[in-house]
């Protein structure tokens, strides 16, 4: 399954302006596959990563895309990934997803500067709502 998309694929899918792109970062492969299917069937372009490093090594577009990042990833957590991306100049809006809520997670979510937080399992409707919120933010910016 998709772990790291080839560079040309990334260029092609992300640089086109017609469809908004979702950059998905989730390490559980079955969840990753399912979310990708859902988003594709909703009409989005999807680029999926299962490791934070792969995201940092790739080239991300400046606009027209939104990040959907799982909180609990190997190597670094979702918030750290977003902070690192922001430090590199990335201004894409972020939606955080998590399967688990406790004190530590709540605090992390606060730091994330995310447009929305989704708890697994989430519905298609709540996902679409979060995505439109993210792109509204982008439009305003």
Partner 1 sequence: MRVVPQTTPSGRAVPRRQSKRSSRHSAAETRDFEELVIELACAFVRVTTDKIDEEINRWLERVILALGLDRGTIAEINPSSDWATFSHGWAREPGQIIGKSLDANALLPWVKGKMLAAETVVMPSVDALPDEAAVDRESMRRYGPKSNVMIPIKVGGVVVAAVGFGALYHERSWPPQVVRQLQTVAEILGFALERKRVVTEMLKLRNQLTYVSRINTLGELAASLAHEINQPLAAIRSNAEAIQSMLESERPDVDEIKAAVADIVSGDARAGDTIRRLRALFRREELVRSETDLGELLAEVSRIIGSDAVIRRVSLKIDVRHPLRPILADRVQIQQAVINLLLNAFDAVSETEQHAREVTLSAHEEESGCLKLIVHDCGRGIEPDALPRIFDAFFTTKPNGMGMGLAISRSIVEAHRGRLSVSSNPGRGTTFEITLPRPSEHPLWIESKPVIGER
Binding residues for partner 1 (CB under 8 A): 28, 30-31, 33-35, 37-38, 40-42, 72, 74, 76-77, 99-102, 104-105, 119-124
Using alpha carbons only, give the angle 47, 62, 88 rounded to the nearest 5 degrees: 95
CB of 99 to partner 1, least distance (A): 4
CB of 88 to partner 1, least distance (A): 20
Judge contact between 92 and 64, C-beta under 8 A.
no
> Quick one: 91 or 124, whose CB is closer to partner 1?
124
Phi, psi for 63 (deg, rounded to 5): -140, 175
Rounded Cα distance, 133 and 102, in Å? 25
> Quick one: 109 or 137, whose CB is closer to partner 1?
109
CB of 41 to partner 1, least distance (A): 4
- SS3 assignment, position 117: strand
């Amino acid at each position: 399954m998709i772990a790291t998309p080839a560079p040309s694929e990334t260029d092609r899918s992300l640089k086109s302006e017609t469809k908004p792109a979702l950059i998905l970062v989730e390490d559980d492969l079955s969840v990753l596959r399912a979310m990708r299917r859902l988003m594709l069937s909703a009409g989005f372009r999807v680029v999926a990563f299962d490791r934070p490093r792969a995201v940092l090594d790739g080239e991300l577009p400046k606009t027209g895309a939104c990040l959907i990042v799982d909180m609990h990833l190997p190597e670094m957590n979702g918030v750290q990934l977003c902070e690192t991306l922001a430090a590199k100049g990335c201004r894409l809006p972020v939606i955080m997803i998590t399967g688990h809520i406790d004190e530590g997670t709540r605090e992390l979510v606060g730091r994330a500067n995310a447009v929305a937080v989704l708890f697994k399992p989430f519905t298609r409707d709540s996902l679409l709502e979060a995505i439109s919120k993210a792109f509204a933010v982008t439009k305003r910016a």
